[in-house]
Structure 1
Amino acid sequence: RREAKIREAAIDGLIAAKPPKAIAALVKRLADSSAMVRGGAARALFAIGSVPDDAQRKIQSMAKNTDPAIRLDATTALGCLPPEKALEALSLRINDDVWAIRDAAVEALEGLRLTPSILILAQRLAEEKGLVRREIAEALTQLTGEELGELPGPWLHWLSDRKEGFELPSAEEVDSILKARKAKREEGGFKETYHGLSIPPGGVVFILDTSGSMNDLYDAVDQSTLYQHFSKALGKSLERLTSSTSFSIVLFDSAIRVWKQSCVQADEESVNEAKDYLEYEKPFGGTNIYSALRTALEIEGVQTIFLLTDGAPSVGLTAENEIIHEITRANRHKRVRINTLLAGESKADFLDNLARLNGGKMVDLRDLD
């Protein structure tokens, strides 16, 4: 097991350095005795941008493996296969039982930028829900420059109207189209937001810092504390959630407290219960960011995380680079989006890198204040 971890670390090194013989070394590791090493090799080949002919069949086989982690890594690598092979394999993986693998297939299909991807994505819309449904609609928009929503019908109708030989616009052309359209209308997007970040459908976990520093004064006029301000803001965001979103809450200081072990559908009853839970909390202790994130990643149904903290890690694992490494590693096969929000004495670089490496965004609330 230890040797396998060493080989995994070596693969990460190959991704970073990209030495001349890296591809040959990675192809060899596709037959490694460790499943995690095999998956890591597939992921690395994609990161480097090359899957040799002798490895393509192996990648296709791995994408059908019974181990979801291996399927996920292989699905990511399918985007480097020749178009015909990639489309065939991704049309299967986009119907995988595991949402993270479907999500990876959507990302790969968008990356291919091929017209046949439109049909595959549009047909999946009829069966999909939550976060992945939104990601499919966004992928279709990024491929076509059209904004036809989350129902398959309009996209299939649009595709049927294209003439033979139609080619998708380039990514740059799509970006220009969308920016021009946005300038002519009121900015769209989700009505449900949390400090300016859109709250997507699907399972969402809100992590809120309750360490002793959250007792610091936020507003000198009404004498509210940081915790009172931010817990109230969370409550207001919860009130705007629709039934397409389920959620839970993690509170952390030196210890970790979980409101619900599974994400629950947002409705009047659950939102009121959550607001009551927040109201009676008393900030105390240190800042155990690492354990809070690990706990949130294990909540059933989680697809998106929002972490709000006012301080640097001071309890448990406190080395920021190690936290980023371990959380990113733990999240590799979950594909949970981790968004971070800064207040107080938080370090922007740390939380920005944490969010960026886990598919999320960072907001510095000190700038807004």
Structure 2
Amino acid sequence: MNWGRVLLAPLLICVVALSANADETVSDFKKLFKKFKERSERIEAVLALTGIDEPDVVGALAPVITDDDPEVARAAMDILAALRDPASVQAVVGALVGAKKAPEQIAWLRVLTASGQEPGEEGREALFDLVKERDWQVRFRALQTLTAVGGEGVVVALIKARGDDELAVRCAAIDGLAALKAPETVDQALAALAVPDWQERASAVAALGKVREKRSVTPLIERMALEEGRLRADIGATLEGLTGRGFGARLELWKSWWGAVEARFELPTVEELAAAEEARARDSAQYAPIEEVSYHGVSTPSRRILFVLDVSGSMDNLVTDRERFKAEDYRSWSRMDVVRRELQRAVEGLADYVEFNVVAFASEVDPWRSKPVKANVLQKRAAIDWLDGLETIGGNEDQDLAAVGLTGSANLEAGKTNSHLAMMYALGVMDERGRRLKADEYALEVDTIFFLSDGDPSVGEFVDPDDILREVREANELRKIVIHTFALGHFRKTFMERLAAESGGTFVDLGK
């Protein structure tokens, strides 16, 4: 008896059955998807295609990746990005080649970027063509996809894109060169140190930190002399990563040290830098710039700052870990009164060359000013007075009203924590009513955000922390804003930690 055939037969039957089931699932999806109206049902229907790695899935989901509901579209793109069968990948490439409108092109580019699969000759030709498209968002996504797949011609395309009219595309070109560790990165980044847009200069500084060469040190020190605010600190961090010295943003120390060692200096290895990290951190603290804004122990040399403050109902609760807060002029030990006074103190200490704004949020956002203003004596006094009148929404008094049946007056629904709207407003993605702004309005006037909250997100378009982090990540890839986060109260603080870590900021746990 041929035991190989005996053993193989059940396996072949299972494969055929699974294939038939997959075909039926895809067929059912095509027939039934339009009948689902609720977001949850529509997403569940899309997720039913998980694990079916066949070209038919591409055709089934093609209309869905540009769905009006971004969560449904994202679920479809996630399914497509997981396809690995060569025939399925080529179906994705074919869909990209056939896409004629910008939204479709952008969606398929995002799928290919997330997939990281080799698109083949036809796909590469399409990507190089899309880098020349009229819509800047298509050019931007095409560069990201080329960076993800790599290969011949990509570096040349990235260098050409350095001359693009759109800031986001020029930044993507530098970021791509640095991600690929291309030798051409340093020349391109050094040239970009003197461009007008600070986001592009920020990309250049970061790129010089990733592709480490000795010849970058002198131009970086020279640029530090011309920069103000956060970029000066960014340059200091890059110089520290290049040299192993911990002089931060102290220009005079860099100039003096480099003048003495330049001729004989050799870049330390990554391993040597890691070994010297403790000493470098100690030096950085010692040589911190004198002119800095400080808030809850986090300092920044930024001159364009946005403070975002949670005023949801739970901010009425008492601070129990009081050792951190030493002031004697709090109205009470409620979280609101404590953080209000600490923010007023930070505003009082702002130098007159700093531009700032304050945004309060609960279920909705409430900005103090429509845009940042100079921290002169008049504006600082106005901000302090505004903070004086700021009260929690849905706090203890409102809950008392609700307890006696006055739910309308209590307005507890307005006192929840809409972290998504707060961050989207702060990043210039939405207005205060949650309406999305134009995609090309990403060059903001602020470069640093201080974000304080005392609870998990509980209301808004997105509540799940992973969803909010994803939205912030996507918005901030264009804006390049540093976000420092501060968590006060008893809740899971992982969201706040990740938000800071993914945005180049510092997380501070203020206790309970």
TM-score, normalising length from structure 2?
A: 0.63
Which of 304, 317, 334 is the matching residue for 2:448?
304
Q: Which residue does 2:57 correspond to in 1?
A: none
Q: 1:174 and 1:214 mapped to 2: Cα distance?
A: 43
Q: 1:23 to 1:253 in 2, by over 3 A?
A: farther
Matched, 1:194 2:304: no
Question: How many angstroms does 1:61 deviate by?
Answer: 0.9
C-alpha contact (below 8 Å) 2:246/2:282 kept by paired residues? no
Asked which structure has the greater CA Rg, the reply is 2
C-alpha contact (below 8 Å) 1:208/1:309 kept by paired residues? yes
Which of 130, 139, 143 is the matching residue for 1:38?
139
Q: Which residue does 2:206 correspond to in 1?
A: 107
Higher strand share: 1
C-alpha contact (below 8 Å) 1:262/1:300 kept by paired residues? no
Question: How many angstroms does 1:141 deviate by?
Answer: 2.3
C-alpha contact (below 8 Å) 2:106/2:141 kept by paired residues? no
Question: How many angstroms does 1:69 deviate by?
Answer: 1.0
Q: 1:197 and 1:295 mapped to 2: Cα distance?
A: 22
DSSP 3-state at the match of 1:295: helix
Which of 144, 153, 171 is the matching residue for 1:54?
153
C-alpha contact (below 8 Å) 2:205/2:235 kept by paired residues? yes
C-alpha contact (below 8 Å) 2:250/2:288 kept by paired residues? no
Matched, 1:130 2:229: yes
Q: Which residue does 2:348 correspond to in 1?
A: 239
Cα deviations by residue, 1:306-341 (Å, 9 ceiling, x for unpaired): 111112223322332222222221221110112222
Which of 421, 424, 446 is the matching residue for 1:294?
424
Which of 204, 209, 214 is the matching residue for 2:315?
214
Percent identical among aligned pairs is 27
Question: How many angstroms does 1:40 deviate by?
Answer: 3.0
Q: 1:330 and 1:56 mapped to 2: Cα distance?
A: 25
C-alpha contact (below 8 Å) 1:23/1:45 kept by paired residues? no
Q: 1:23 and 1:100 mapped to 2: Cα distance?
A: 33
The aligned amino acid for 1:73 is A
Question: How many angstroms does 1:99 deviate by?
Answer: 0.8
Q: Which residue does 1:349 correspond to in 2?
A: 494
The aligned amino acid for 2:216 is S
Question: How many angstroms does 1:303 deviate by?
Answer: 0.4
Question: How many angstroms does 1:295 deviate by?
Answer: 1.6
DSSP 3-state at the match of 2:266: coil
Cα deviations by residue, 1:136-175 (Å, 9 ceiling, x for unpaired): 1221122113345647666456545446574211234334
Q: 1:61 to 1:165 in 2, by over 3 A?
A: farther
Q: 1:345 to 1:5 in 2, by over 3 A?
A: farther
Q: 1:140 and 1:220 mapped to 2: Cα distance?
A: 38
The 5 A counterparts of 1:323-334 are 323-334=468-479
C-alpha contact (below 8 Å) 1:309/1:343 kept by paired residues? yes
Q: Which residue does 2:387 correspond to in 1?
A: 278
C-alpha contact (below 8 Å) 1:30/1:39 kept by paired residues? no
Which deviates the most, 244-253 or 185-194? Answer: 185-194
Q: 1:334 and 1:185 mapped to 2: Cα distance?
A: 26
Q: 1:185 to 1:45 in 2, by over 3 A?
A: closer
Question: How many angstroms does 1:111 deviate by?
Answer: 1.1
Unaligned runs of 5+ in 1: none
Which of 77, 89, 93 is the matching residue for 2:192?
93
Q: 1:316 and 1:91 mapped to 2: Cα distance?
A: 42
**Pairwise CA RMSD:** 3.0
Q: 1:286 and 1:75 mapped to 2: Cα distance?
A: 41
Q: 1:334 and 1:171 mapped to 2: Cα distance?
A: 29
Matched, 1:74 2:173: yes
Q: 1:307 to 1:12 in 2, by over 3 A?
A: farther
DSSP 3-state at the match of 2:307: strand
Q: 1:93 and 1:243 mapped to 2: Cα distance?
A: 29
Q: Which residue does 2:399 correspond to in 1?
A: none
C-alpha contact (below 8 Å) 1:71/1:101 kept by paired residues? yes
Unaligned runs of 5+ in 2: 1-101, 323-330, 394-414, 429-442
Matched, 1:173 2:272: yes
Question: How many angstroms does 1:60 deviate by?
Answer: 0.4
C-alpha contact (below 8 Å) 1:324/1:354 kept by paired residues? yes
The 5 A counterparts of 1:5-20 are 5-14=106-115, 18-19=116-117
DSSP 3-state at the match of 2:505: coil
C-alpha contact (below 8 Å) 2:246/2:283 kept by paired residues? no
TM-score, normalising length from structure 1?
A: 0.85
C-alpha contact (below 8 Å) 1:130/1:244 kept by paired residues? no
Question: How many angstroms does 1:135 deviate by?
Answer: 0.9
